[in-house]
Structure 1
Amino acid sequence: MAVSLDETRSANVKTRKPRARNSPPRSSATGSARKGARNSEIVYRDLRDAIVNVTLPPGAALAEKEITEKYGISRTPVREAILRLAEEHLVDVFPKSGTFVARIPVAELREAIVARKALEEVCVREATSRATKSQLMELRAIIQREQELADSGDEQAFHAADNAFHAGIASASGYPGIWQMIEKIRLQVERYRRLTLPQKGRMQLIVSEHTAVLDAMENGDAEQAVANMNSHLNKLQIDIGTFQDLWPDYFHFDVK
């Protein structure tokens, strides 16, 4: 005898084991875990942005209690976020002493600049021969925006436009994945660069250097474009001593 769909559903309901009184919903554990993961990700992203933007300067203390109260969450997702930041060398955790924003490690900073130069050289060289007219026009528009932002003193937006210029060259080179590689190694460089932008004339200098790179690219001179990019990135390396003198407590020099 055929059994209707309604009869099947009725049978399933009758045979289902009843839930104990006052027990939580069956999916609550999974739901709590997901919520905790979301909370941890939010805290991680917010703290990471603040550290990279130097809103939280090197050496600043991070109090778990204050963070939990700010977000209205438990300490577990906060600790998970801090652990991720520690793995990225953005915070230092000292048992019984506290958690602090890590100072910028000069050795790691120098290595990251060298690696970035090597990767960007490939992009500039290839982009000089492969970039379309529209891609070159887009890069020129970014420089124009950089000039406007430099004139208005908008450091946050200027920093984003600066990154867009370098990412645009990687895209024009046909190797957009190289910029993704650069992003993975440039955390300490980003923190350092944010310290340099407030320096008088710094943003205008970057505009001039980007212009020199693009001029050479438009002229089809790959060697000059690479030389101009190297000069641009070398200044980050050369100026470390200057900014270390300005903010000695922001940097960490490894003793070997």
Structure 2
Amino acid sequence: MTLTGRTKTEQAYHVLRRAIVTGDLVEDLPLDDAMLSTRYGFGRTPIREALKKLADEQFINYPPHRTPYVRGIRVRDLSRLYESRHLLEEPVARLAARRATPAQLDELERICDRIDDEIAAGQPYGAIEYDHQFHLEIAKSTDNPFLAEAVNRLNCGSLRIWYLAHSTLGMENTNEDHRAIQAALKEKDPDKSETLVRQHIDKSYARQMALQQLDPVVPPPAARSSQGEPP
């Protein structure tokens, strides 16, 4: 992603976002604006404004009257995180199948192409940023800005673990689901779109379990409930 033509605040935001996602700024690290200014070469005002946006998007915690710090994701949080994705993104896919415009469907296909480019170039950060953009574009195609905002915030908080999975487990075949989802949306098939999104989220959850060396076949709570098991 080029930073040419962006304001200093926008540049600082994208640089800090990447640093958080890739682990250059580690979990629970206090984000003192003077330290960040020296480390990344931006003034303290752009740094402060960037931190506010990063807090709004769940990348960092910003307690009142205290130094912000990188938001951590604990192993115990993973099942609830993926439960939230099921509950939010599956109905979003159903709506998108009914409401997506031809231009939005073309944009989803373009994003899939960009993901393939990043995978071919061996760039996990670029791949997961376009992955995030893919899911956000589906939410935007519902023509419901509240759903789009919710999907954006939820998945921004997940980018660090997506990056870790891609950089550790590899990226082979990770874009096939996206293309299948785009095709189902283009067919205007709500049931198929919802099912493919559910399966895609389950695969992502299984990768996280494999990364933590936990049982990769145990689905998150929402998926267990849909299979008739106790919640």
Equivalent position to 1:185, from 133, 154, 162: 154
- Measure the CA separation in 1 of the matches of 2:160 and 2:211: 12
Is 1:227 aligned to 2:227, yes or no?
no
Structure 2 CA distance for partners of 1:83 and 1:224, relative to 1, 3 Å: closer
Aligned to 1:138: 107
- Measure the CA separation in 2 of the matches of 1:124 and 1:107: 27
Q: Which runs of 5+ in 2 are unaligned?
A: 1-7, 62-67, 215-231
Aligned to 2:165: 196
- Measure the CA separation in 2 of the matches of 1:157 and 1:134: 23
Q: Which amino acid aligns with 1:162?
A: D
- Measure the CA separation in 2 of the matches of 1:72 and 1:163: 27
- Measure the CA separation in 2 of the matches of 1:236 and 1:164: 16
Once the two structures are TM-superposed, the CA of residue 166 in structure 1 deviates from its matched residue by 1.2
Structure 2 CA distance for partners of 1:127 and 1:182, relative to 1, 3 Å: closer
CA contact (8 A) 2:27 2:70 kept: yes
Equivalent position to 1:117, from 77, 80, 86: 86
Aligned to 2:185: 217
SS at match of 1:206: coil
Equivalent position to 1:168, from 115, 131, 137: 137
Aligned to 1:149: 118
Equivalent position to 2:204, from 216, 236, 252: 236
Deviations 1:109-130 (A, max 9, x none): 3322221222211221011122
TM-score, normalised on structure 1?
0.61
Aligned to 1:107: 76
Q: Percentage identity across aligned positions?
A: 28
Moved more, 63-72 or 234-243: 63-72
Structure 2 CA distance for partners of 1:130 and 1:56, relative to 1, 3 Å: same
SS at match of 1:205: coil
- Measure the CA separation in 1 of the matches of 2:156 and 2:162: 10
Once the two structures are TM-superposed, the CA of residue 242 in structure 1 deviates from its matched residue by 1.7
- Measure the CA separation in 1 of the matches of 2:29 and 2:110: 38
SS at match of 2:138: helix
**1:14-53 superposed matches below 5 A:** 47=16, 49-53=18-22
